[in-house]
Structure 1
Amino acid sequence: MDSTPRQPDRFKIADPIPSSSPAFGTPALAFRTFTRKHNLTISSSALQTLAVFVGKNCGSGWREEGLAERVLDEVAKIWKRAGGGVIVEEGKGASLKTILQTLEGSMSGGRVVSGKSTSQDGPLKASSLGLDDGRIETGDTSNPGTEEDDTQLSLHPRNWLKVIAAFDLPRLTYNVDKKYFEAIKSKPSLFPSPSHKTALFRDRYNLVYQRLLRNESFQSSLGTAGVPSLQRASSNLAQRQSYKLTPIANLLGRSGTSHLLLGLLSTSPTGDLSLVDLTGSVALDLRHARMIPEDGAWFAPGMIVLVDGIYEEEEMVKGAALGGNTGIGGAIGGQFVGISICGPPCERRDISLGTSSRHDGQLSSSGGFGWVDFLGLGSERAQGARMRRIQEQCLRRDQETAETTKLKVAIMSEVNLDHMKTLDALRKVFSTYNDLSLPERPQAFVLIGNFARKAIISGSGRAGSIEYKEYFDSLALVLSDFPALLQHSTFVFVPGDNDPWASAFSAGAASTIPRQPIPDLFTSRVRRAFATANSEINTSQNSEPMGDAIWTSNPARLSWFGPVHDIAIFRDDISGRLRRCAVNTTLDSDPDVTMQDPLNSGAAEAAIAAGGSQLDDVGQQAGIKAAAVSSGASMARRLVKTILDQGTLSPFPLPLRPVLWDRASALQLYPLPTALVLADPEAAPFCMTYEGCHVMNPGRLLPEGGTPTARWVEYDVVRNRGKIREQRC
């Protein structure tokens, strides 16, 4: 203990924090409150800031009355509710300074007073803390309603539906040194520095690399020696081995040896394939490579792949090497002869968030990124448990009438409004749901473009804008016939490449993504139809929110109950682009090698198998062999596995699929969403689950040829399952 007299002015920000500080006692108090109780880590600077705050507001009662511990507990709760990271420090998700300033206005006599929500700067603002309703948790459990009082919240499910445009998602980047996600502080620009283009691919590589190292097949264990190669094991009882990645720069001087590389598949200026990582690049020979699994995925330039093979140095001619640059960071001489190639293993959402194991209903304190707010609505660890309680209350509110509200979404793609039969198909879909009882109707309808079959907003002297607006005016007439749906559902519109204004300069070709929503200029009549329908209901006697039409970007996210249900939506002709750009190998697979057994195929196959590469669709659950699956289902599997393994919606070179460099993080699929809508009219409709992510493709609303039929996907949010529905028009 410090025997010197304690002076009131001792607690200044510039002063160090002695272990016997009267405002903080010892660091054990902070450790007990933040680490043991709330699974948080506090930095030294944050510790000093809290010491000043406690000394200023708690006075001499910090120890005798336990005021300091109560205040620290309150700060930790608010930090978690605000979506702060696992490390309590400034600049990590939430603002500690803002939390303390707001909390100070709610304190009296060293205690947090319930209902007191004013400070020196004015009223308490929930948005400054990331809270939902502006209430401060007092930690007083004896008074119900003072801590996370959810009884005053609206219990209608549509109040918890959020449509998040790609331009509103948090811009995050993975910090390799800290092994954590950080917010990008620079302001996004349409014309950023060229270094941002490099950062786009570097961030993709770092995300896949850290995900790969978290896979148990790449984690070294005691007793493991040497680096295995892709050779068949002599026995199925062989001990599981860990696998090691080799940086490309480390291939120099190791000719004739086998290695496992992770890199970006790219095309060199000469037109040859090459593999690039953060240390260099090497020419790639895949003429004798075997794809793992066979016909299980596409591999195209722009993708990050695992290649197992042998490095061969260049032959020496007249005493000089034929290659040129062999320095670190450049192209090394020689070539890498691939034996096997596969995509990086996927990672389930619960593993990425560190929520795969639960104890007594609480989230475990294991690794993962559960404290990261990926959607801007609160992190899984901060809001997940509370949102699940609210969801349970919302879905059981109608049990007295023996009817439980269902969270269903009707998803329609390729809604070509310039086709008269499309309007008939929409009328058929709407009438199908209009005849159902209110709890059985979809809470949301998702209409995905292209809303015009041809990109007519491309000049050439035609009044394209007027025609395009008339298409939505026709849609408004159809919607006006179903006022009950407009009053009780949310309609979400996602554009395609033929929709304005991107088509004004792309003429329907692949435009830059993410792309803005359809301008309000064309949608006024549809909005008027919703306003007319909502004017007929009495909102004073109904807590249900009014129906609404939301025009969002491509891609977009639908969030239900915060981080609990994350639904990604993307409209793109991605399967056709994959077929055109995929790399083909010439060597046939060995029929004696079983693709399902990782012990028979080595490092790359083991990485796939350990990552759970088998699709968990209905067909496999019923025991159907892969060989008996139709070609359409096989194509769907390849598409789903390719996209989710890559962890991005656009695994292509920028000339092939332009991407806004400063908005590339909006295309990431890490962690995996709970559901993904891949609206691709060139692929057959499907619904299947891969690594816990349910992927759906509605196909065309009006299939080509045959009897006029309306086809769409009905998605059950709670069960995380979709089904394809059809109705004859």
Structure 2
Amino acid sequence: MMPGDKPLVAALFAPKTPGPAKDQIPSSSPAFGTPAYTQRPFVIAPTTKTTILPILLPPATLRPLAFRTFTKKHSLTLTSSALQELASFIGRHCGSGWREEGLAEKVLEEVAKGWKNRNGGVIVDGASSELKDILKTLEGNMSGGRIVTGRELSRQNSLALDMSSQDVDISNTRLGLRPIAALTRDDSQASFGMSGLGVREDETEDNEDDGLNDLRKWTKVISAQEQPRMLYNVTKKHFERDSSKPSILPSANQKTTLFRNRYNVIHQRLLRNESFQTSAVASAKGAPSLSRSSSSLTTAQQTYKITPIANLLGRHGSHHMLLGLLSVLPTGSLAINDLTGTIALDVTQAVSIPEDSAWFTPGMIVLVDGVYEEDEEATGRGLGSTNGIGGVIGGRFQGFFIGQPPCEKRKATLGVSGPDGGQDHTIGGGFGWIDFLGVGSERAVGSKMRKIEQRLLRQREEDPDSPGRGRVVVLGELNLDQPRALQALRKILTLYASEPEGTSPMSFVITGNFTEHAVMAGGGASGGSVEYKEYFDSLASVLSDFPTLLQTATFIFVPGDNDGWASAFSSGSAVPLPRKGVPEMFTSRIRRAFASANAEPGVQNGGEAIWTSNPARVSVFGPEHEIVLFRDDLSSRMRRTSVRLKSSKAPAEESNKHAESDEVPDDEEMADIMGQGDDMEVDAVKPPAAPEIPHDVQSARKLVKTILDQGYLSPFRTNIRPVHWDYASSLHLYPLPTAMVLVDPTAPPFCVTYEGCHVMNPSAVLVPGRRGVGRWIEYELGKAGRLRECLF
């Protein structure tokens, strides 16, 4: 049926009214018995579409209205070409009523929302394909100069989505949102606005549905291959989604893009720090000095500047602060490089700030404070030698202080205001409209998700002593080839199966290596594959003894380096990250156990087994809770490859002889810059009364600070820890997750909170040196995890 046939069909089923009407036509042939008035189906219905006469709208006339809508309301900047496109579109489709009837304002509002939905940046360019696609989609939804879809167009963001391709039934949504797991979407940016989670603002929160009251319905496991690939655009100062198709064997320029994106993300994060923001008042009084002043006002106005490496030429003996990537030259000496060049780095006199608080390995992006020294033969000419633009600059950089770039809290990154995020972080930017995981942005669905979370977890607040449903049980390395490991697992599952009905944990996280040695690399006809499958069959027999847990919980399995298929060619050595999950051919028996448990009568929302990648992310209530799952021996790898630095307790006269005393910062000043001001909370171990910090606590803090300050899960050289270049964005920790499961058997177990991110390491299930003891971590959403042990 065509759209124009709707009035005729409505008239066909209308009740018959006797007598003539004003819209009826007299009979033209009385001789043939034609009725005096025509039948209703043949009534000529008046057209409902208003004819619009196009006009020529000058861009200067539309500029005030466009400035008020784009700049004042949506913080966007229009280029002259974009203003010309909008003026031409409005003049053609809205006509002379663009101002009096408010038609242009509605069109500009929808275009602004569509541009934000596509992560177009703060500058709206008329030559971009995004703006043309938005106007083309909007043109098909206009009639008579008006948007025919009304508020549904704004709510569902049809400017970026083809509504005909969506199979999400919005009318059946209750509680205001549809669970993430029920969505089928092709474009991860579709959830930028309200469309990704099916927002219905007119729905009340009092409606309850048994299927949506389960926390697992609001949980989504996102593998590294499914996560949107975001790249930071330096020109737009915005994150953009990489629309190219990823590949395992990409072109060589993707390797350069990997390191450039890492540097740009840390550099923009550093510039958002108050210590690197230039104040107009302070600059008027003179150049900022690195010396500490007794005046608190002067200290608050001190700012620091990062010098590009290429700008060191001709500045022999001057003091600078560099931000760059630690690397190793072909000669074997240490160097630091940024996007402008490379220079040899001397760290023999360097002191880490704060002392012994983080690891420094080649492959990390670090802050170095020191003095530039030219070559002796070039000192007389006053110029440093270079091998070309972006090449190795002659001379060396004598580093005095080295530290990690300070981390940024999640609330500050997303621009969330509140008591935990300061007075107002929305001033000065924030990436709250960016959908980093494909589950909806913070600005779009964050407030809705928090309301639903409070309603579902209200029972836990009323009875804090009872076990909560929003718990995640994290088991460390589980070697299935060790019988005692299966005994420990059986004991742990028995403890949770005996809990009252309806209070069992919502998910269990089980991590590899699932075999102590890489059996897939073994000899024989099967290559160890048959033996490898038998280990998972034994795991399936253990899980089958706990049908209640299989019916009410989600089991998430994260592989290690010894698991298939990667271990078949690596023999247990470091494999490229990210890596896919264990193949289905080895886990068929476990899936069958879940299917049998969920087939019992009375089971409505059964549990499931998810074999995800390493690393992976778990999203609970959209952007409200983000949990990173990662299995790697980070601690041992950092100890092997770290750079040895001198202690700050040693005499520092030699390190200060090349610089003036009022230009070299002391330990306290560098600690303020490099993030010592925020103390790290240890939840699993209480601080001792003695001033000495236990070695396990200190090593845990050191590991956590290094990873979170780097904002990257693999801050090593590619020959030490290979990375798939096209999937490197899944290794970024920006914005910081709310929680992180870092399974590292080479490090002691811990639960540490740093800058609002709770990091947990359960280590191995079997406790070394203690026979018959199993260990795991129990984490509750939004709270701290706790280390638990049991005897078996």
TM-score by length of 2: 0.79
* Correspondences of 1:358-397 after superposition (within 5 Å): 364=426, 366-396=428-458
CA distance in 2 between counterparts of 1:96 and 1:626 reads 64
- Tell which structure's C-alpha radius of gyration is larger: 2
Equivalent of residue 579 in structure 1, options 639, 642, 656:
639
Residue 519 of structure 1: how far off its partner (Å): 0.5
Equivalent of residue 716 in structure 1, options 762, 766, 780:
780
Residue 661 of structure 1: how far off its partner (Å): 0.9
Query: Which residue number corresponds to residue 171 of structure 1?
Result: 229
Residue 586 of structure 1: how far off its partner (Å): 3.4
2:470 equivalent to 1:422: no
CA distance in 1 between counterparts of 2:144 and 2:477 reads 53
Which structure ranks higher in relative contact order (CA pairs < 8 Å, sequence separation ≥ 6)? Answer: 1
Query: Which residue number corresponds to residue 601 of structure 1?
Result: 667
CA distance in 2 between counterparts of 1:149 and 1:33 reads 35
2:631 equivalent to 1:631: no
Residue 37 of structure 1: how far off its partner (Å): 5.1
Residue 496 of structure 1: how far off its partner (Å): 0.2
2:300 equivalent to 1:300: no
CA distance in 1 between counterparts of 2:131 and 2:557 reads 31
CA distance in 1 between counterparts of 2:317 and 2:782 reads 54
CA distance in 2 between counterparts of 1:120 and 1:495 reads 37
* Correspondences of 1:497-508 after superposition (within 5 Å): 497-508=561-572
Residue 310 of structure 1: how far off its partner (Å): 1.4
Q: Which amino acid aligns with 2:481?
A: D
2:570 equivalent to 1:514: no
Residue 687 of structure 1: how far off its partner (Å): 0.3
2:682 equivalent to 1:617: yes
2:306 equivalent to 1:223: no
Q: Which amino acid aligns with 1:432?
A: L
* Correspondences of 1:458-469 after superposition (within 5 Å): 458-461=521-524, 463=526, 464-469=528-533
CA distance in 2 between counterparts of 1:49 and 1:468 reads 62
Query: Which residue number corresponds to residue 262 of structure 1?
Result: 323
Equivalent of residue 155 in structure 1, options 203, 209, 213:
213
CA distance in 1 between counterparts of 2:400 and 2:423 reads 47
Secondary structure in structure 2 of the residue aligned to 1:473: helix
Residue 392 of structure 1: how far off its partner (Å): 2.2
Moved more, 709-718 or 233-242: 233-242
Query: Which residue number corresponds to residue 721 of structure 2?
Result: 657
Residues 628-665 of structure 1: CA deviation (Å, up to 9, x unaligned)? 32101110010001111111000000000000111111
Q: Residues 364, 252 of structure 1: CA spacing in aligned structure 2 closer, same or farther, 3 A cutoff?
A: closer
CA distance in 2 between counterparts of 1:489 and 1:424 reads 20
Query: Which residue number corresponds to residue 482 of structure 1?
Result: 546
Residue 440 of structure 1: how far off its partner (Å): 2.7
Equivalent of residue 739 in structure 2, options 675, 681, 694:
675
Residues 599-648 of structure 1: CA deviation (Å, up to 9, x unaligned)? 84365322124x7442133489x775794321011100100011111110
Conserved 8 A contact 1:280-1:331 = yes
CA distance in 2 between counterparts of 1:200 and 1:437 reads 49
% identical aligned pairs:
49
Q: Which amino acid aligns with 1:608?
A: M
Q: Residues 532, 353 of structure 1: CA spacing in aligned structure 2 closer, same or farther, 3 A cutoff?
A: same
CA distance in 1 between counterparts of 2:538 and 2:677 reads 47
Secondary structure in structure 2 of the residue aligned to 1:413: strand
Q: Residues 53, 388 of structure 1: CA spacing in aligned structure 2 closer, same or farther, 3 A cutoff?
A: farther
2:730 equivalent to 1:666: yes
Query: Which residue number corresponds to residue 693 of structure 1?
Result: 757
CA distance in 2 between counterparts of 1:134 and 1:629 reads 47
Moved more, 56-65 or 652-661: 56-65
Conserved 8 A contact 1:137-1:148 = no
CA distance in 1 between counterparts of 2:106 and 2:207 reads 22
2:248 equivalent to 1:190: yes
Residues 459-483 of structure 1: CA deviation (Å, up to 9, x unaligned)? 4226311111111111111111111
CA distance in 1 between counterparts of 2:684 and 2:567 reads 40
Equivalent of residue 247 in structure 1, options 308, 323, 334:
308
Residue 705 of structure 1: how far off its partner (Å): 2.2
CA distance in 1 between counterparts of 2:53 and 2:237 reads 40
Equivalent of residue 552 in structure 1, options 609, 612, 636:
612
Q: Which amino acid aligns with 2:681?
A: D
Conserved 8 A contact 1:405-1:440 = yes
Conserved 8 A contact 1:217-1:243 = yes
Query: Which residue number corresponds to residue 496 of structure 1?
Result: 560
Conserved 8 A contact 1:124-1:134 = no
Conserved 8 A contact 1:446-1:494 = yes
Conserved 8 A contact 2:229-2:727 = yes
Conserved 8 A contact 1:451-1:496 = yes
Q: Which amino acid aligns with 2:555?
A: F
Conserved 8 A contact 1:407-1:717 = yes
Conserved 8 A contact 1:450-1:496 = yes
Query: Which residue number corresponds to residue 533 of structure 1?
Result: 597
CA distance in 2 between counterparts of 1:499 and 1:156 reads 32
Q: Which amino acid aligns with 1:645?
A: D
Conserved 8 A contact 2:574-2:721 = yes
CA distance in 2 between counterparts of 1:312 and 1:133 reads 57
Residue 571 of structure 1: how far off its partner (Å): 0.4
Residue 675 of structure 1: how far off its partner (Å): 0.8
Q: Residues 558, 318 of structure 1: CA spacing in aligned structure 2 closer, same or farther, 3 A cutoff?
A: closer
Q: Which amino acid aligns with 1:389?
A: K
Moved more, 421-430 or 178-187: 178-187
CA distance in 1 between counterparts of 2:713 and 2:132 reads 29
Secondary structure in structure 2 of the residue aligned to 1:702: coil
Q: CA RMSD in A?
A: 4.1
Conserved 8 A contact 1:243-1:603 = no
Q: Which amino acid aligns with 1:220?
A: T
Conserved 8 A contact 2:319-2:370 = yes
Q: Which amino acid aligns with 1:416?
A: N
Query: Which residue number corresponds to residue 10 of structure 1?
Result: 54
Q: Which amino acid aligns with 2:508?
A: F
Conserved 8 A contact 2:317-2:373 = yes
Moved more, 626-635 or 702-711: 626-635
Moved more, 203-212 or 457-466: 457-466
Q: Which amino acid aligns with 2:430?
A: G
CA distance in 2 between counterparts of 1:697 and 1:643 reads 13
Query: Which residue number corresponds to residue 3 of structure 1?
Result: none
Residue 258 of structure 1: how far off its partner (Å): 1.6
Equivalent of residue 702 in structure 1, options 766, 774, 778:
766
CA distance in 2 between counterparts of 1:725 and 1:592 reads 46
Q: Residues 149, 599 of structure 1: CA spacing in aligned structure 2 closer, same or farther, 3 A cutoff?
A: farther
Conserved 8 A contact 2:54-2:95 = no
CA distance in 2 between counterparts of 1:134 and 1:449 reads 33
Query: Which residue number corresponds to residue 659 of structure 2?
Result: none
Residue 457 of structure 1: how far off its partner (Å): 0.3
Residues 654-709 of structure 1: CA deviation (Å, up to 9, x unaligned)? 00000011111110011111111111001110001001110010110111222311
Query: Which residue number corresponds to residue 472 of structure 1?
Result: 536
Q: Which amino acid aligns with 2:649?
A: S
Q: Residues 446, 440 of structure 1: CA spacing in aligned structure 2 closer, same or farther, 3 A cutoff?
A: same
Q: Residues 107, 508 of structure 1: CA spacing in aligned structure 2 closer, same or farther, 3 A cutoff?
A: farther
Conserved 8 A contact 2:54-2:92 = no
* Correspondences of 1:258-337 after superposition (within 5 Å): 258-316=319-377, 325-337=386-398
Q: Residues 506, 66 of structure 1: CA spacing in aligned structure 2 closer, same or farther, 3 A cutoff?
A: same
Residues 131-173 of structure 1: CA deviation (Å, up to 9, x unaligned)? 77789989xx8xx43x999877823211110000001111111
Residue 253 of structure 1: how far off its partner (Å): 1.7
CA distance in 1 between counterparts of 2:151 and 2:433 reads 28
Conserved 8 A contact 1:83-1:382 = no
Residues 440-494 of structure 1: CA deviation (Å, up to 9, x unaligned)? 3210100010000000101422631111111111111111111110001001000
Q: Residues 308, 81 of structure 1: CA spacing in aligned structure 2 closer, same or farther, 3 A cutoff?
A: closer
